[in-house]
Chains A and B, each alone.
Chain A
């Protein structure tokens, strides 16, 4: 929604994702610590042992896990939204390229701060968060899957309704021609800010969900190695997904997400394990491992370049939105076709017609 509809290049998307994840996780951790009366001078150092204790509690008390989970998601979403609001202040008036750089810069800054500012997520040491899904024991993965799928479905429906709504049309108008939309009277700045915040909230929730699943939050500098939310991946993958799928098409995004996630999994997990089992004598295994790590980047970067050169509209092209369903439109068309049109054309003032010929003539 953010990029395709409004045209905001949120190169700092990882900022919001990680903010949501980290803040959500930390607050939940602290809350649970407080509740269970566990103290320590350095809570992060001993986090693994604490979480084990907490996990035991949670297994016994699943309702608590649910509450904590909801709280975490809420905190994650809200804090990310707040960050979105703050960063929109200076940025939203900037032109697209400057905006992109600003968001990227903020994301980097945040990751640096997070990596070194102890109270946030334990600085250079990773933090292990209590595993909220432990009540489900060995079914964890399936539960997480269901949760995520449900969330994705909700977001999808929401996004679809937005793009069909007047708001959606406004967003596209802003994206395509800022001057025109302002001339009509739409408040560009406010709307863009709103969309940024909404998208941030969603990202934050996503981050929190990820944290729940992964139950380990770290912000180590080291490029992509140490951090749970490596910069390039979390900003770049969404972009690639959107572009691959089709910029303004939600369904396309769905397709793109499936495709890309598939690629991701294949290159990071399936291939390495495949290779590990097959040992080729003349190939140094460590070399091969390095190869596979870099393969991910090469495929993604290459894929995006190819897409941009060959089919930048993505898999699903942007069609003019039908704000009413086709059936209704047909009904209206039929009912109008028979009526005499004199009365309506008299009452309607001329300026309403805005086809391209008139503007070219003017």
Chain B
């Protein structure tokens, strides 16, 4: 149960980020998990370089790293292609290309970058270059600190997004730019700048989640390929058009992965192995078949009303 909560928070934050990138560019961003991994990198590096007391202090660095990466990706790739009117498919392929490129670069980062810092990792040494042990966490009442902080982060993120979108001028500009960029421009909003900042926010959220993940699970090579599946599942389940849907989707996917698999494995051992990405893909497929726009698009009133009769 603990891992459900922890991972749920992490995943939901990432789903929110992905949803933001989707809402701005109308394209599901395959490279989103890479923002999180950059965050992981940053958390390890900053933790070691600055000799931080607790890995949570690395969070700002992670957010910065994730945000920076996102902005670069937006400015160098997404924006030029959008201006050119590239199709959705081409943009998807582009994001996939970024992901591939990043996979290679990340391998080099890990190979070169982590070696000098291996002394800084106290826990369990630094076995291979393929996985890094989790950053040391504090424990309270017998549970890891992340169990408490993950929900806190999630609530903080959700609340901040809400406040940003409803109370701040920039947030309203964001909403306008997402809903109708043409009209927003006419109203005087610099849609391009809004998008750029939105991507920074999305990347920062990814980076934050990456930091959390590094604390909870460490880091391994290729983790972005596994994470991106869960992120897609959660975002689509909630609905790519809604940030709050993303939160719900992320939590549900995490729940599904941890809890349901646990239940099923008592039925048959074969099921327990499906945990590795199987459940999230089933969720994704079913959602796309039944309600492609996610849970928020379902007419709950109608269903509940029918049930009442």
A interface with B by C-beta (< 8 Å): 3, 7, 9, 11, 90-91, 94-98, 100-102, 104-106, 108-109, 112-113, 115-117, 221, 223-224, 231-232, 236, 239-240, 243, 287, 290-291, 293-302, 304-305, 308-309, 312
| Contact in complex: B96, A11 (CB < 8 Å) | yes
**Given A98-B292, A101-B288, A116-B270, are A297 and B101 neighbors across the interface (CB < 8 Å)?**
yes
Stretch at the interface among B103-111, B187-195, B197-205: B103-111
| Contact in complex: B108, A308 (CB < 8 Å) | no
User: In the complex, what residues of A have CB within 8 A of residue B276's CB?
Assistant: 112, 115-116, 221
Task: Please name the 4 residue pairs, one residue from A and one from B, whose CB atoms are nearest each other, closest first.
Answer: A301-B101, A297-B104, A301-B100, A298-B104
When chains A and B are docked, how far (Å) is the Cα of A221 from the Cα of B281?
15
User: In the complex, what residues of B have CB within 8 A of residue A302's CB?
Assistant: 101
| Contact in complex: B92, A308 (CB < 8 Å) | no
| Contact in complex: A232, B225 (CB < 8 Å) | yes
| Contact in complex: A116, B273 (CB < 8 Å) | yes
When chains A and B are docked, how far (Å) is the Cα of A115 from the Cα of B281?
15
When chains A and B are docked, how far (Å) is the Cα of A303 from the Cα of B222?
21
Confirm or deny: B36 has a beta carbon within 8 angstroms of a beta carbon on chain A.
no
Name the prevailing secondary structure of the B interface residues.
helix
**What distance in Å separates the Cβ of A255 from its nearest Cβ neighbour in chain B?**
19
When chains A and B are docked, how far (Å) is the Cα of A300 from the Cα of B288?
30
**Given A102-B285, A296-B104, are A301 and B97 neighbors across the interface (CB < 8 Å)?**
yes
B271-309 contact mask (Cβ, 8 Å, vs A): 1 or 0: 001101110011011001100100000000000000000
User: Assuming A96-B89, A105-B285, A108-B281, what are 16 further A-B pairs, CB within 8 angstroms?
Assistant: A3-B89, A11-B96, A90-B285, A90-B289, A106-B281, A109-B281, A112-B277, A115-B276, A232-B100, A232-B103, A294-B105, A298-B104, A300-B101, A301-B97, A308-B77, A308-B90
Q: Would you list 12 pairs from A and B whose C-beta atoms are within 8 A, ordered by A residue?
A: A3-B89, A95-B88, A100-B28, A106-B285, A112-B281, A239-B93, A297-B100, A301-B97, A301-B99, A305-B77, A305-B101, A309-B81
| Contact in complex: A97, B77 (CB < 8 Å) | no
When chains A and B are docked, how far (Å) is the Cα of A354 from the Cα of B112?
61
User: In the complex, what residues of B have CB within 8 A of residue A104's CB?
Assistant: 232
When chains A and B are docked, how far (Å) is the Cα of A218 from the Cα of B21?
36
Looking across the interface, which residue of chain B has its beta carbon closest to that of A222? B222
**What distance in Å separates the Cβ of B179 from its nearest Cβ neighbour in chain A?**
18
When chains A and B are docked, how far (Å) is the Cα of A303 from the Cα of B270?
41
User: In the complex, what residues of A have CB within 8 A of residue B101's CB?
Assistant: 297-298, 300-302, 305
User: In the complex, what residues of B have CB within 8 A of residue A9's CB?
Assistant: 89, 92-93
B197-233 contact mask (Cβ, 8 Å, vs A): 1 or 0: 0000000000000000000000001100110010011
**What distance in Å separates the Cβ of A264 from its nearest Cβ neighbour in chain B?**
13
| Contact in complex: A304, B274 (CB < 8 Å) | no
| Contact in complex: B111, A287 (CB < 8 Å) | yes
| Contact in complex: A7, B98 (CB < 8 Å) | no
**Given A116-B274, A301-B101, A312-B86, are A97 and B28 neighbors across the interface (CB < 8 Å)?**
yes
Looking across the interface, which residue of chain A has its beta carbon closest to that of B27? A97
Confirm or deny: B102 has a beta carbon within 8 angstroms of a beta carbon on chain A.
yes
Confirm or deny: B80 has a beta carbon within 8 angstroms of a beta carbon on chain A.
yes
**Given A7-B89, A290-B111, A290-B129, are A295 and B285 neighbors across the interface (CB < 8 Å)?**
no
Confirm or deny: B94 has a beta carbon within 8 angstroms of a beta carbon on chain A.
yes
User: In the complex, what residues of A have CB within 8 A of residue B42's CB?
Assistant: none
User: In the complex, what residues of B have CB within 8 A of residue A243's CB?
Assistant: 93
| Contact in complex: B77, A301 (CB < 8 Å) | no
**What distance in Å separates the Cβ of A268 from its nearest Cβ neighbour in chain B?**
13
**Given A112-B278, A116-B270, are A301 and B104 neighbors across the interface (CB < 8 Å)?**
yes
| Contact in complex: B89, A100 (CB < 8 Å) | yes
Confirm or deny: B236 has a beta carbon within 8 angstroms of a beta carbon on chain A.
yes
When chains A and B are docked, how far (Å) is the Cα of A78 from the Cα of B306?
44
User: In the complex, what residues of B have CB within 8 A of residue A296's CB?
Assistant: 104
| Contact in complex: A304, B225 (CB < 8 Å) | no
When chains A and B are docked, how far (Å) is the Cα of A290 from the Cα of B284?
34
**Given A97-B92, A105-B281, A308-B77, are A293 and B98 neighbors across the interface (CB < 8 Å)?**
no
Q: Which of A11, A98, A116, A301 contacts B102 (CB 8 A)?
A: A301
User: In the complex, what residues of B have CB within 8 A of residue A105's CB?
Assistant: 229, 232-233, 281, 284-285, 288
Task: List residues of B (230-261) whose CB comes within 8 Å of A's CBs.
Answer: 232-233, 236
| Contact in complex: B98, A305 (CB < 8 Å) | yes
User: In the complex, what residues of B have CB within 8 A of residue A221's CB?
Assistant: 276
User: In the complex, what residues of A have CB within 8 A of residue B97's CB?
Assistant: 240, 300-301, 304-305, 308
When chains A and B are docked, how far (Å) is the Cα of A3 from the Cα of B92?
13
**Given A112-B277, A308-B90, are A291 and B285 neighbors across the interface (CB < 8 Å)?**
no
**Given A294-B105, A308-B97, are A102 and B288 neighbors across the interface (CB < 8 Å)?**
yes
Looking across the interface, which residue of chain B has its beta carbon closest to that of A287? B111
| Contact in complex: B107, A308 (CB < 8 Å) | no
**What distance in Å separates the Cβ of B8 from its nearest Cβ neighbour in chain A?**
20
Looking across the interface, which residue of chain B has its beta carbon closest to that of A300? B100
Looking across the interface, which residue of chain A has its beta carbon closest to that of B84? A312
Looking across the interface, which residue of chain A has its beta carbon closest to that of B292? A98
Looking across the interface, which residue of chain B has its beta carbon closest to that of A3? B89
User: In the complex, what residues of B have CB within 8 A of residue A232's CB?
Assistant: 100, 103, 225
Looking across the interface, which residue of chain B has its beta carbon closest to that of A99? B288
Residue of A7, A96, A97, A312 most packed against chain B (CB within 10 A): A97
| Contact in complex: A293, B288 (CB < 8 Å) | no
| Contact in complex: B80, A309 (CB < 8 Å) | yes
User: In the complex, what residues of B have CB within 8 A of residue A116's CB?
Assistant: 270, 273-274, 276
User: In the complex, what residues of A have CB within 8 A of residue B229's CB?
Assistant: 105, 108
| Contact in complex: B277, A97 (CB < 8 Å) | no
User: In the complex, what residues of B have CB within 8 A of residue A117's CB?
Assistant: 270
When chains A and B are docked, how far (Å) is the Cα of A239 from the Cα of B103?
17
| Contact in complex: B104, A98 (CB < 8 Å) | no
Residue of A232, A301, A312 most packed against chain B (CB within 10 A): A301
Looking across the interface, which residue of chain A has its beta carbon closest to that of B94? A308
**What distance in Å separates the Cβ of A35 from its nearest Cβ neighbour in chain B?**
29
| Contact in complex: A304, B278 (CB < 8 Å) | no
